[in-house]
Structure formats: C-alpha cells, structure tokens
Structure 1
Amino acid sequence: MAEKELQTTLQQLRQTLQSHNYQQSTSLLSKAKLALLNLNTLIPRESSSRKHLQLARETLELGAIISIRLKDTVSFTRYFQQLQPFYSLPESSLPHDGSHASKVTGLYLLLLLSEGDYAGFHTLLETLEVAAAQAGIKLEDDQCIQYPIRLEQALMEGSYDKVWGETKREKMPSEEFGLFAEILIGTIRKEIASCSERAYPSIPISDAKSLLFLDSEGSVVNFAKESGWVVRDGRIYFPQQEDDYLSKDILVTSDQVIENTLGYARELETIV
C-alpha cells in the first residue's frame, strides 16, 4: 500500500515541478518521505529492494531540485547529504539509469563555489574524480560537473568576463543552474569592486556601469553608497588605501582584470 501511495505521490511531484507549483510540492514531499519511512527505505538497507531504493532516490532528488527552485540552500544541502548513501551503492544494487546524480552533484558544486568554499569544492571534486576513474567514466564528458569547474577556473584566473558569459542561460546545463547566477554575479561585483579600489583613485559612473554589469547608473550610485564610495561630478571616488597595502603587482593585476572585464562588457553592450 505504501509503495503504491509513494508512486502516486511522486507522479504528482513531477507535475508540480513542471508547473512550478512549489507550495504543493513541499506538502507532497512530506507525504513521500513519510511513505519512505513506512517502507523503511529512507536510508538504504541490505534488505531494501531495488524498486524501493529507486523510489527513495527519486524522492530525495526531487526534494533537492525543488529546494533549489525555492532557493532554500539549507534544505538542498540536507537532501544532497541524504542522497550520498544511495549514490555510493554499486550498479548491481541500484542502477544509475534514471538518476539525477549528475545534476544534483553539479548544483552542489555550484553552491560551494557561490559560498566561496573552495576547499569543499576541491574535496568533492577529487572524490568524484576517484569514483569516475574506478567506474571507467570520463568526468570531462559530464556537462553538469564541467560547468561549475569552468566557473571555478575562471574565478581563480580573475577572468570575470568568462564567469559573466557562463551565467547566460544558454550556457547552463539546466534551468536550476540559472538560480545561482545572481549569487555568482554578486561575487564578481565584489571582486571587481575590490580591484577597482586598488587600481584607480576614481572612475566615471558610465564605466562603472559596464564594469560591474549593472543595468543603470542609478544602480551604480546605490552600489557605490553601499560600498562606502563617494559619488561626485559623474565619477566614483574610492577611499585612499594605505601606501604599504598597494604594491606594484596588485596594481598591475587589478588594472588588467578591470581592462579585460570593461572591454568585454562594452562589447556585450554593443552586441545587445
């Protein structure tokens, strides 16, 4: 009885996901997890049947995806952790077919990246690489995993223009990845703002608009005030830094980052 009820609930969950009815999704998830408890399959056991394991995995994966749609990263992290025992099961116990492991794992990597947890990012990536090697799988063929890897590499290089380009919807593996775009662009703005303060005493508001990927000069003024900058006569003035804080290397690096990003932003505006 519990299995049939769970299958019906999962079908309804898929429908709410397609229709973006997330309020109903939440109540259905609670119902599905209760059914899993009744089946004693919320955690994989040796006595669990393959069918029950598949139902449990799908329930938790749908929960993870719905959490991302709701921008509930705490809930998403919990679902990701609950899924790990299922993902570690051998193919003979739980076939990989029908699983969203790639998407869920790629989204978790992106979450770590957006939170600046580079240590966690690389630890998980190393684990994935070992597992892929043991299974004879090429990780570079997995677009959901490669997407956050490309973003991390661009961030480490200071190539913020590449990060900006990757956050375009057509570059993303699925709709869920787009929900991190705002967080990542916020990260870019903070990094570029920090470089700008080190590189120049002031810049025109018009340049700041392109540089920070903001849609209006009013947005630039608001961002400047939040950052503690001074806006006067069409320019943004940065607080003076301590002389010993500004080395030549920092200035050159910051200048290159800003010029590259500003050039890309201007080209983008021309295309649009």
Structure 2
Amino acid sequence: MEAAHKKLLAEWNKEPKILAAVSNALKQVKSRGVVMCTKLMSCMRSNEESPNKFLMIGLNLMYFLTTNQHAQFHMLLEQIDQNIQQNNPYITTPVKLEQSLMEGVYNKVVLTEKNIPSPYYAFFIRISMDTIRDEIASCIECSFKKVSQKDAAQLLLFNNVNEIIPFAKKRSWKNSGNTYIFEQGRSGPILKEQLDTKRIAKQTIFYAKQLEMIV
C-alpha cells in the first residue's frame, strides 16, 4: 500500500502532470484499498482490540463516502455491530453524514464538522462541503439570472459574505454591485473526468499521509 501511495505522489509531483499516469497510479491505490478493507474486516471479526481500531475504520468509511465508493462503504459498515454503529462516535459520524447527504440536508453536514470525534475527520467533511457547494453552485448558475452576494452565501451554506468571494472568483462569476450575474444555460466544467481524477488524487495523497501519522 505504501509503495502505491509513493508512486501516486511521485506522478502527482511531476510537471507537467500526465493525467493518464496519475489515473493509473490512482487505480493501483484503489485496488490496494480493497485489500486494506478486507484486512479491516478480519480485524473486526477478531477479539483483538486496538486504541485506534475504530478510528481507522471510521476514517476508511469517511474515505469511501467522500470518494463515492458507496459499495465499499456499505460492505465495511455491514461488518460492524449495530450497537457500535449507534454508539461509537468514530462510526456514527460517517453513518450520519451519509444519511444527511442522501436526504439532501446539507446544513447538517456543516454542523457535523463542529462535532467530529477526531481532527482527522475535518478533512473529509470539507471535501463533502466542497462537493455540495459545487453542486449547489451549478444549480444557481442554471436557475438564476442574478442573485445577491448575501443570498448566494446563504444558499451555499457559507457563514458570511466574505467567504463566498474567493468561491465566486474560482467559478468566474460576474459581480456587479454585490450581485452575481449569470448567463442562462451556462455549461458545466470542461473535462470533468480529468478534474475529478485530480481531486480524488489529492484526497488520496492527503489521506495516505494522515494514516501514516496515526500509525
């Protein structure tokens, strides 16, 4: 697993980046992830206890959730006792997060970050929020001709207007008198598959580094 992560990191650090190589390295990490998931299941079936056992399992659940690996998420979750699912904070956090995402109750995702059982969870919550905001922003662009900064900040679940400014610039929103103007029928980002590969690669690299720190 470590060798696969190092290869991914090496490909990511190359300039210019070769997306095909990054994607290939990422696939290798994902395949190792299935093996790691299997080992975690074996660990759960054993009577051995470790101080970081459920922290590691919880982080893997968060990883699967934020990278849209829902089958792996539920496969791992099914191996966990119902009592632990309901009472262990390392496990209840990803369970509740998935429920909020499925129901579209995005304000609960924001609140989740304030009640995480470990600082390591914050990274995954922010990934979820970034994804949510991108989806909401795409809807705003297609549904409104214009929207005030204040309303946009509320729709995007930001705490204040200042937080939306860099987000709006990133999406190239036209600002006129504290109001964002949109072109109707605006198309989505180009080369979505490539952009998703970059995002997931960044997530995986950071995740690997965090796991090394825990171990």
Q: Structure 2 length normalisation: TM-score?
A: 0.60
Pair 1:177 & 2:129 matched:
no
Match of 2:104 among 158, 172, 186: 158
Match of 2:131 among 171, 183, 187: 187
Deviates more, 1:153-162 or 1:196-205: 196-205
User: 1:89-108, aligned counterparts within 5 Å?
Assistant: 95-108=47-60
Displacement of 1:210: 3.2
Displacement of 1:148: 0.6
Contact 2:107 2:157 in 1 (8 A): no
Equivalence for 2:91: 145
Equivalence for 1:249: none
Match of 1:208 among 146, 149, 152: 152
Contact 1:229 1:239 in 2 (8 A): no
Distance in 2 (CA, whole Å) between partners of 1:120 and 1:221 is 36
Match of 1:224 among 157, 168, 175: 168
Q: Which amino acid aligns with 1:224?
A: A
Same amino acid, percent of matched pairs: 30
The 4+ residue runs of structure 1 with deviation greater than 6 A are 74-77
Matched position secondary structure for 1:175: coil
Distance in 2 (CA, whole Å) between partners of 1:172 and 1:146 is 10
From the superposition, tell whether residues 97 and 218 of structure 1 become closer, same or farther in structure 2 (CA, over 3 Å).
closer
User: 1:118-133, aligned counterparts within 5 Å?
Assistant: 118-126=70-78, 128-129=79-80, 132=81
Contact 2:97 2:112 in 1 (8 A): yes
How many pairs does the alignment contain?
Answer: 160
Q: Structure 1 length normalisation: TM-score?
A: 0.49
Distance in 2 (CA, whole Å) between partners of 1:90 and 1:165 is 29
Displacement of 1:166: 0.7
User: 1:1-272, aligned counterparts within 5 Å?
Assistant: 81-82=35-36, 84-85=38-39, 87-88=41-42, 95-126=47-78, 128-129=79-80, 132=81, 138-168=84-114, 171-214=115-158, 217=161, 219-241=163-185
Displacement of 1:173: 1.7
Displacement of 1:99: 4.7
Q: Which amino acid aligns with 1:121?
A: F
Matched position secondary structure for 1:144: helix
1:76-130 per-residue CA deviation (whole Å, 9 max, x = no partner) reads 9958844743651687xx533335222111111111222233333233323x25x
* Greater Rg over alpha carbons, structure: 1
Structure 1: gaps of 5 or more residues: 1-25, 27-73, 243-272
Displacement of 1:139: 2.9
Displacement of 1:165: 0.7
Distance in 1 (CA, whole Å) between partners of 2:44 and 2:56 is 18
C-alpha RMSD over aligned residues: 3.3
Displacement of 1:236: 1.0
Distance in 1 (CA, whole Å) between partners of 2:165 and 2:151 is 12
Contact 1:209 1:217 in 2 (8 A): yes
